[in-house]
């Protein structure tokens, strides 16, 4: 039986490349492609793939938050994160969200099929260059971002991407008042005083480009 795969990455050419790699192998079937984090969650809910290959940095909903919601919508889906970054913050955030693996994009052509096979069996897979992240029990400083609710994280990212309150309300099917309330709470929890500070904080966390 083929392993059913969802690919989520905002770069069309990269998605095409992953599809080509996978379709050249037996027993792999790409059932859906997503260009945003929100779209990835919707397609995971619809298709219930065996494996979701998810980019760490995506519009509207970053990879870690998308992973959390994908696993709620489709608990049997194994998530493999793809990233250009070997930074410890990304790796730990992805694993905490429930991802089974983390593959660096510059090794994707050689390691993708092995990584998918591993996570589809319930095993973990991490690129050798980042495996040492888990070799020590370092204490990671608490991040105020972790105090945000799931919905607040969505609004936080969309604000950081330049979204207006009205546009965010429409995209998330919320009232304008609800979005404004979320924005106020986000600023309070994060200790921020302006949208420019919010954008900078999101960039520093690697949540937006």
Tens of pLDDT, residues 19-44: 999 988 888 999 999 999 999 999 99
Between residues 8 and 204, which one has the greater pLDDT?
Answer: 8
Q: Measure the CA–CA gap between 153 and 69, rounded to whole angstroms.
A: 12
Q: Where in the chain is the domain with CATH 3.40.50.2300?
A: 3-134
> Is 70 exceeded by the pLDDT of residue 6?
yes
* Region of 71 on the Ramachandran plot (φ > 0 left; ψ -120 to 50 alpha; else beta): alpha
What predicted TM-score, i.e. pTM, was given to this entire model? 0.80
Q: Where in the chain is the domain with CATH 1.10.10.10?
A: 144-204
Residue 140 neighbours by CB distance under 10 Å: 10
Q: Measure the CA–CA gap between 126 and 67, rounded to whole angstroms.
A: 16
6, burial (CB in 10 Å: exposed 0-12, middle 13-18, buried 19+): buried
The two three-digit tokens of residue 203, written as one number: 């960039």
Which fold, 3-134?
Rossmann fold (3.40.50)
Residue 147 neighbours by CB distance under 10 Å: 12
Closest CA to 114 of 124, 132, 106: 124
> Is 90 exceeded by the pLDDT of residue 179?
yes
Strands (E), 84-126: 101-104, 125-126
Q: Class assignment of domain 144-204?
A: mainly alpha
Q: Measure the CA–CA gap between 209 and 202, rounded to whole angstroms.
A: 9
pLDDT confidence of 145, banded at 50, 70, 90? confident
DSSP 9: -
Q: What is the pLDDT of residue 152?
A: 94
Closest CA to 207 of 71, 65, 101: 65
Phi, psi of 71, rounded to the nearest 5 degrees: -70, -30
Interval 116-120 mean pLDDT:
95
The two three-digit tokens of residue 21, written as one number: 């790699």
Q: What is the pLDDT of residue 142?
A: 56
Interval 52-56 mean pLDDT:
96
Q: What is the pLDDT of residue 139?
A: 45
> Is 60 exceeded by the pLDDT of residue 146?
yes
Interval 176-188 mean pLDDT:
95
Cα torsion through 189, 97, 130, 8, rounded to 10: -110
Q: What is the pLDDT of residue 140?
A: 47
The residue assigned the tokens 């379709």 is: 23
Residues 55 and 82 sit within 8 Å (Cβ to Cβ): yes
Between residues 149 and 89, which one has the greater pLDDT?
Answer: 149
> Is 70 exceeded by the pLDDT of residue 206?
yes
Q: What is the pLDDT of residue 131?
A: 66
Q: What is the pLDDT of residue 173?
A: 92
């Amino acid at each position: 039986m083929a392993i059913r795969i969802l690919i989520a990455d905002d770069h069309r050419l990269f998605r095409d490349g992953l599809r080509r790699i996978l379709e050249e192998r037996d027993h792999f079937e790409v059932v859906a492609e997503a260009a945003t984090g929100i779209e990835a969650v919707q397609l995971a809910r619809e298709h219930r793939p065996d494996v979701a290959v998810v980019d760490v940095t995506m519009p509207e909903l970053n990879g870690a938050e998308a992973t959390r919601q994908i696993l709620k919508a489709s608990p049997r889906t194994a998530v493999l994160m793809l990233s250009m970054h070997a930074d410890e913050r990304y790796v730990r955030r992805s694993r905490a969200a429930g991802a089974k693996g983390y593959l660096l994009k510059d090794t994707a052509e050689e390691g993708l099929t092995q990584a998918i096979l591993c996570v589809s069996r319930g095993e973990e897979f991490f690129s050798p260059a980042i495996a040492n992240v888990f070799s020590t029990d370092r204490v990671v400083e608490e991040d105020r971002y972790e105090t945000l609710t799931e919905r607040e994280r969505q609004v936080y990212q969309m604000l950081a991407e330049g979204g207006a309150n009205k546009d965010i309300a429409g995209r998330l099917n919320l009232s304008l008042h609800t979005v404004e309330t979320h924005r106020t709470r986000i600023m309070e929890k994060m200790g921020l005083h302006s949208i420019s500070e919010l954008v900078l904080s999101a960039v520093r966390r690697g949540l937006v480009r």
